[in-house]
Structure 1
């Protein structure tokens, strides 16, 4: 009986960790997409120029 409870607890913990990992992966992908958009915006507007390039 006790072993069955331990197995159930481990299953729940593993599921919780999987959900957390999936959420973290989604957040990371979202940040990567935002970063790419920001880099493109900086490139197209010319904000990434150095002071020498502005002269």
Structure 2
């Protein structure tokens, strides 16, 4: 069994240990939300900027890919043309040997 004085002391002791918000640094919830929203807006703008940069890089890479494919097609055509020329030259050489 406890005395009323002890109970009063105990309640004060517990309440004294609970940190109280400082009035100097305290913000209203509205102010705090404005700060959070402005930080979110900054993050959103940064995300959109990075996203735009990545989209431009993707377009550049796709264009390079297309150009490389065109270069590859041109190289294949040149190889095919050279092989035909080589085969023709070999046929001509063989026909000269037979005669």
Query: Given the two structures, how large is their TM-score scaled by the length of structure 1?
Result: 0.82
Name the structure, 1 or 2, with higher relative contact order (CA <8 Å, separation 6+). 1
Cα RMSD for the two superposed structures: 1.9
Task: Output aligned runs, 1:1-55, within 5 Å.
Answer: 1-46=38-83
Q: Deviations over 1:1-54 (max 9, x none)?
A: 10110000000010010000000000000000000000000001118x8xxxx6
Structure 1 gaps, min length 5: none
User: Higher Cα Rg: structure 1 or 2?
Assistant: 2
Structure 2 gaps, min length 5: 1-37, 91-99
- Show structure 1 runs of 4+ deviating over 6 A: none
